[in-house]
């Protein structure tokens, strides 16, 4: 019964396709890491990733190939990310990576390394190499900043990466001081 309960708990927290965290799992991990960061005054970053030209990939090669591309991205991410990092599917081809105890420059390096690794480890569709890239926005969460606000800042930086050429990492603007909020 305990084993079954543990399996059910995992299913409730995981995206069934990619085996990344789903929204419930993201909410749990974000709350845990934000609390830890605030308590110990550690930096805490997050990154929003969006696969470039995903609609074109789906249209040209089909939704099954699109699903396999998502799975490929997660496989590479799990190889490249640290054990303490968490990846969650926000929806469609968009993911969020939680990078605890990581300053902004370190987070940018980690996400850039993931980008480079993804371009080196080709995704194969019918034995044909298909280049998959993503645009990312990285934000340093301010102490006490709500989850949605931090994600919105990272998301805005990701859109900046898309608008300035794709396959790049942009950093979010800092949160205004508490006195300015």
Active site amino acids:
93
Contact 99, 45 (CB under 8 A): yes
C-beta neighbour count of 58 within 10 angstroms: 17
Closest-CA residue to 74 (of 61, 90, 58, 62) = 90
Secondary structure letter of residue 119 according to DSSP: H
Give the C-alpha separation, 109 to 167, whole Å: 14
User: Please, which residues bridge with residue 32 across strands?
Assistant: none
Whole-number CA gyration radius for the chain: 17
Give the C-alpha separation, 145 to 141, whole Å: 6
Give the C-alpha separation, 57 to 79, whole Å: 24
Q: Using alpha carbons, list the distances in angstroms from residue 50 to 34, 69, 95, 162, 180.
A: 23, 12, 6, 9, 31
């Amino acid at each position: 019964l305990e084993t079954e309960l543990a399996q059910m708990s995992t299913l409730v927290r995981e995206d069934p396709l990619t085996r990344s965290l789903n929204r419930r799992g993201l909410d749990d991990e974000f709350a845990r890491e934000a609390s830890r960061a605030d308590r110990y005054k550690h930096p805490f970053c997050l990154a929003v990733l969006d696969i470039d030209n995903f609609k074109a990939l789906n249209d040209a090669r089909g939704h099954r190939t699109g699903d396999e591309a998502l799975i490929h991205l997660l496989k590479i991410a799990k190889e490249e990310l640290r054990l303490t990092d968490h990846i969650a599917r926000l929806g469609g081809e968009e993911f969020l990576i939680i990078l605890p105890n990581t300053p902004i420059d370190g987070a940018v390096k980690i996400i850039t390394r993931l980008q480079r690794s993804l371009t080196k480890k080709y995704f194969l569709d019918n034995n044909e190499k298909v280049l998959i890239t993503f645009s990312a926005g990285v934000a340093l969460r301010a102490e006490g900043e709500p989850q949605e606000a931090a994600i919105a800042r990272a998301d805005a930086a990701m859109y900046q990466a898309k608008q300035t050429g794709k396959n790049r990492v942009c950093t979010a603007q800092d949160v205004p001081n508490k006195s300015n909020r």
